């Protein structure tokens, strides 16, 4: 009769393996958490760069067309703009001092190819990538609501479009709306000023 011996791990070997796995987990988990943060930051920077480029294309086309048109055609889409500045304002108006959420969203959707899904910051954002809001009288130079038009005149009351990355916000469980209402001091996102064409990203 042949004896069969079963070989296994000793208690010490098992403890050593558990300690090694614990050390690996302690060093790897924070890196995986940072990967999510980094991915959000890169997403915001990508949208910011794309929006800035598209806005500059609109302005360039406006210059080529003679600087006085209230719209240009960009990649087959008609883009409305403020003739005092030459930057996109969305349909339904041509004034950088009279922006609203709908017009800010239209700028986003019209000038960007394959724009991320977006909705007003007062609506359910659970299936969206960005929420859109407007901060009145803080656009233009130095975020003080004032800018200089092409004729050298100072224009006051310039508005600011704000696009927040949904993943960086807290959404209400019952209605999917951002809570608290997002500002530039909350979350991550992009701002656009139709008074000077400036696009900036913010990361909190």
Domain boundaries, the chain: 12-203
Length of the chain: 204
- The enclosing H or E element of 31 equals helix 11-64
For each of the chain's 204 residues, which pLDDT tens digit applies? 566 666 666 778 788 888 888 877 777 776 666 667 777 888 899 999 999 999 999 999 999 988 878 999 887 888 999 999 999 998 777 899 999 999 999 999 999 988 999 999 999 999 999 999 999 999 887 778 899 999 999 999 999 999 999 999 999 999 999 988 888 888 999 999 999 999 999 998
CB atoms within 10 A of CB 94: 18
DSSP character for 146?
Answer: B
Tokens linked to 109: 């959707």
Ramachandran bin of 114, using left for φ above 0, alpha for ψ from -120 to 50, beta for the remaining angles: left
95 contact partners, CB below 8 Å, separation of at least 6? 82, 89
Distance from C-alpha of 129 to C-alpha of 50, rounded to nearest angstrom? 15
Distance from C-alpha of 124 to C-alpha of 121, rounded to nearest angstrom? 8
Q: What is the pTM of this model?
A: 0.81
Q: Which residues pair with 118 in a beta bridge?
A: 130
């Amino acid at each position: 009769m042949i004896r069969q011996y079963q070989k296994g791990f000793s208690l010490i070997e098992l403890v050593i393996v558990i300690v090694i796995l614990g050390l690996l987990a302690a060093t790897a988990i924070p890196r995986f958490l940072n990967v999510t943060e980094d991915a959000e930051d890169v997403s915001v920077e990508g949208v910011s760069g794309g929006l800035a480029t598209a806005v500059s294309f609109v302005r360039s086309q406006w210059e080529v067309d003679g600087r006085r048109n209230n719209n240009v055609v960009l990649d087959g889409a008609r883009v409305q703009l403020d003739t005092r500045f030459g930057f996109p304002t969305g349909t339904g108006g041509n004034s950088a001092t009279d922006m609203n959420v709908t017009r800010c969203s239209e700028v986003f959707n019209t000038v960007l190819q394959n724009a991320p899904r977006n909705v007003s910051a007062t609506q359910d954002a659970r299936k969206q990538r960005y929420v859109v809001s407007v901060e009145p009288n803080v656009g233009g130079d130095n975020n003080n609501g004032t800018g200089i038009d092409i004729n050298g005149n100072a224009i006051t009351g310039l508005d600011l479009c704000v696009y927040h990355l949904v993943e960086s916000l807290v959404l209400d469980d019952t209605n999917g709306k951002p809570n608290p209402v997002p500002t530039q001091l909350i979350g991550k996102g992009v701002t656009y000023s139709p008074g000077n064409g400036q696009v900036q990203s913010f990361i909190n």
